[in-house]
Amino acid sequence: MKPASDVPHLGPSVPQRGNAFSRSLGRVLWSLTGWRFSGGVPDIPKAVVIVAPHTSNWDFPIGVLVMFALGIKVSFLGKHTLFRWPVGPIMRWLGGIPVDRRSPRGVVQQMVDTFDNRDRLFLTLTPEGTRGKVDEWRTGFYHMARAAGVPVFPVSFDWGSRRITFHEPVVASGDIERDLPLIRGLFDSVTGKRSD
């Protein structure tokens, strides 16, 4: 089977991982899933990537396939205790960033420091904060992006159409009452794997 032909090209500023072999293998595996891509990845070095809806544990393996098919390096937050031996090296290899929720600096400041110390970083978060259906999003991703001076890059996982859509990045203006409904509106017609 031929690799998927709709895989977006990555510009030189985007955090990348792997090589030609891993990308080719990822694209072949991606083509077997029946999922497709829509839109493109902006050629920017840093962003808070929000992925929604997050309704199932199956979102993670789909996300890993996206990572390998594109050759994109994305990072995610994990409780610092998950980064101990023997799982720690695997977590870091996958892009995990340990965070200590007990730290007086808080999670947002820890991530702002991480953004400041890296040339390239796509930090992926799920704004719902849970796999269940929620009426309100957590707003930490917004405050993190605003404080770090990086855009919010929305990505939707639509299980109904089996499509990953890369939306245009949104700059957090500081007016969350205006910005948040605009960002959430991008996901209005998107179906999660589970609707409950």
3-59, pLDDT tens digit by residue? 455 889 999 999 999 999 999 999 999 999 999 999 999 999 999 999 988 777 888
36-38 vs 163-166, strand pairing mode: parallel
Q: What pTM was computed for the model?
A: 0.89
Distance between CA atoms of 23 and 71, rounded to whole angstroms?
6
Looking at residue 153, its pLDDT comes to 98
Looking at residue 111, its pLDDT comes to 92
Looking at residue 69, its pLDDT comes to 94
Q: With a cut of 50, say whether residue 1 has pLDDT above it.
A: no
Mean pLDDT of all residues in 83-99 = 86
Q: What is the pLDDT of residues 123-151, one digit of tens each?
A: 999 887 655 565 688 899 999 999 999 99
Hey, what are 45's tokens? 């070095």
Q: With a cut of 50, say whether residue 2 has pLDDT above it.
A: no
Secondary structure tally for the chain: helices H, strands E: 6, 7
Instruction: Fill in the amino acid letter for 121.
Output: L
Mean pLDDT of the chain: 88
Hey, what are 161's tokens? 């159409």
Q: With a cut of 60, say whether residue 189 has pLDDT above it.
A: yes
Looking at residue 134, its pLDDT comes to 59
Looking at residue 85, its pLDDT comes to 86
Looking at residue 35, its pLDDT comes to 93
Looking at residue 130, its pLDDT comes to 54
Residues with Cβ within 8 Å of residue 95, at least 6 apart in sequence? 67, 73, 74, 75, 76, 124
Looking at residue 14, its pLDDT comes to 98
